[in-house]
């Protein structure tokens, strides 16, 4: 018999289930449609906050950023010349300066015009105020040997600045204007800066005052750029253009962490690679410029080179980081400390040593007369010595180590025993060894940068004094091993490992 009560209960359950399904469906629809909207709002809020952060940095830092215009007398002897901005007689007339100076003397580039006996070349750059009484940091290549420096503040005031000191080796300069109560940009900690962090570049690119660009730190410790003797650049993708030179690189806290200095560009414009001098390097230089107008650097008296994997293998070492001593100067701090040719420096002042560039910078920033521990690997054994830092002699340049040239076919070298005539020909008076007279183009020696006039002093750590000794030593090199040469060019020696496979 049919039970109506059970039937009604069943219908009730169906209706409840349907209602539940409808409710769940509606809820899912609401979730699906509202979630993207909420996510979009959150994304927009995040962008707003980022924008506010950059705006805050601009408000905090921009008042302390200055526009710098320089003038320099440029003399010309010719009555007819092309209107390149500074003329061939000006030190500003190279590609480096053209990348970083804005408007120059009038005239259409490439069009001949009548040149007066004397004219003024005009260039521009940026800087930032570091004291309320008018001290300003900028690049040496901005102010250089300028006859007149004009500084313009954000509020429109203009001042004539005087140069306190310049340091061409690091490309840092300190100038001063006669003013009080100026806005100051605080100096941060570039060592704490990490790759990937946001940074802001502020300056006057192309004469456009107080322009702000944003990017990230792309890399740190760039030391083979070739812009200065002492390099430890911060690399960034923040747009740095001509006129930005000397302006600050600022972190999100509004602290200067670097000085915008250079761009890598084939066209002269921004392509995403810019370089800034780290502020921690600048701090020490600034203080010395303030105290004495010049910079005194620490000195060890060694010629050094990076330890490549080939050199490490040739020396029987398992390490692949460190700095190889290619030569030790006589009566130098290094010689007095007991450092020897062939030592590999792995620590200095308690910190690891990886590459030549950063190591040179660290030594240079130490005060002459201070004593520091230095750890080396000597024939595979670790030794720690104490070295007293000397003062870098006037005119001492970065070790210029290039390389080497009777017939060593597998190396591509032609060598001769060093005779008095050859010594005179190649200016090798007082040298001993085998002189390279020719280098075969495309050979392993040529690829390594070895040049005629270079002296081979050792082959595989064995001194050689004539051609026969040199040939025998090369022939004795085990198969699939590199030939390790100690070569000398000019005043400097270096090791080079040549693969012969």
- Which member of 190, 218, 245, 329 is catalytic? 245
Q: Which of 76, 158, 63 is nearest to 119 (CA)?
A: 76
171 is catalytic: yes
329 is catalytic: no
**Phi, psi of 250, rounded to the nearest 5 degrees:** -120, 140
Tokens representing residue 115 in the block: 């040149």
- Which member of 62, 105, 126, 141 is catalytic? 141
CB burial readout 253-288, b (16+ within 10 A) else e: ebbbbbbbbbbbbeeeebeebbbbbbbbbbbbbbeb
CA 33, 39, 45, 47 dihedral sign is negative
Q: DSSP readout, 113-145?
A: EEPPSEEEEEEEEEEEE-STT-EEEEEHHHHTT
Cβ atoms of 236 and 215 within 8 Å: the answer is yes
294 DSSP assignment = S
The three-state secondary structure class of 251 is coil
141 is catalytic: yes
Tokens representing residue 206 in the block: 């192309």
In angstroms, rounded to a whole number, what is the distance separating the alpha carbons of residues 244 and 260? 6
In angstroms, rounded to a whole number, what is the distance separating the alpha carbons of residues 195 and 332? 38
**Phi, psi of 19, rounded to the nearest 5 degrees:** -60, -40
- Which member of 171, 251, 327, 343 is catalytic? 171
The three-state secondary structure class of 93 is coil
Catalytic residues: 141, 171, 245
């Amino acid at each position: 018999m049919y039970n109506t009560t059970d039937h009604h209960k069943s219908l009730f359950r169906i209706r409840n289930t349907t209602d539940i399904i409808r409710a769940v469906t509606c809820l899912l629809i609401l979730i699906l449609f509202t979630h993207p909207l909420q996510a979009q709002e959150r994304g927009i809020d995040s962008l707003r906050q980022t924008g506010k952060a950059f705006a805050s940095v601009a408000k905090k830092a921009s008042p302390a950023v200055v526009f710098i215009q320089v003038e320099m007398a440029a003399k010309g002897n010719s009555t007819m010349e092309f209107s390149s901005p500074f003329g061939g007689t000006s030190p500003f007339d190279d590609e480096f300066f053209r990348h970083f100076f804005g408007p120059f003397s009038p005239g259409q580039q490439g069009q001949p015009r009548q040149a007066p006996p004397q004219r003024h070349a005009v260039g521009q750059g940026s800087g930032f105020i570091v004291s309320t009484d008018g001290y300003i940091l900028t690049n040496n290549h901005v102010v250089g040997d300028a006859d007149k420096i004009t500084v313009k503040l954000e509020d429109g005031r203009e001042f004539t600045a005087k140069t306190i000191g310049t340091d061409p080796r690091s490309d840092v300069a300190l100038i001063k204007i006669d003013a009080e109560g100026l806005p100051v940009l605080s100096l941060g900690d570039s060592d704490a800066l990490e790759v990937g962090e946001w940074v802001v570049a502020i300056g006057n690119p192309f004469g456009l005052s107080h322009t702000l660009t944003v990017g990230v730190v792309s890399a740190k410790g760039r030391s083979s750029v070739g812009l200065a003797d002492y390099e430890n650049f911060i690399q960034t993708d923040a747009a740095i253009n001509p006129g930005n030179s000397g302006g600050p690189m600022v972190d999100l806290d509004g602290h200067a962490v670097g000085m915008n200095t250079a761009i890598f560009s084939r066209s002269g414009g921004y392509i995403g690679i810019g370089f800034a001098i780290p502020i921690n390097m600048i701090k020490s230089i600034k203080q010395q410029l303030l105290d004495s107008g010049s910079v005194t650097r620490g000195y060890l008296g060694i010629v050094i080179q990076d330890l490549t994997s080939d050199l490490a293998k040739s020396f029987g070492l398992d390490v692949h980081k460190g700095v190889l001593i290619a030569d030790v100067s006589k009566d130098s701090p290094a010689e007095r400390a007991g450092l020897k040719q062939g030592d590999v420096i792995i620590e200095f002042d308690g910190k690891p040593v990886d590459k030549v560039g950063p190591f040179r910078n660290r030594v240079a920033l130490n005060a002459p007369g201070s004593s520091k521990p230095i750890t080396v690997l000597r024939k595979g054994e670790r030794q720690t010595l104490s070295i007293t830092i000397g003062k870098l002699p006037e005119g001492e340049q970065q070790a210029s180590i290039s390389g080497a040239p009777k017939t060593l076919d597998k190396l591509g070298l032609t060598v001769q025993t060093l005779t008095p005539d050859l010594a005179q020909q190649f200016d090798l008076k007082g040298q001993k060894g085998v002189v390279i007279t020719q280098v075969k183009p495309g050979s392993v020696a040529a690829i390594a940068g070895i040049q005629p006039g270079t002296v081979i002093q050792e082959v595989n750590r064995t001194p050689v004094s004539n051609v026969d000794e040199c040939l025998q030593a090369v022939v004795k090199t085990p198969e699939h091993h590199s030939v390790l040469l100690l070569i000398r060019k000019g005043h400097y020696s270096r090791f080079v490992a040549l693969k012969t496979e």
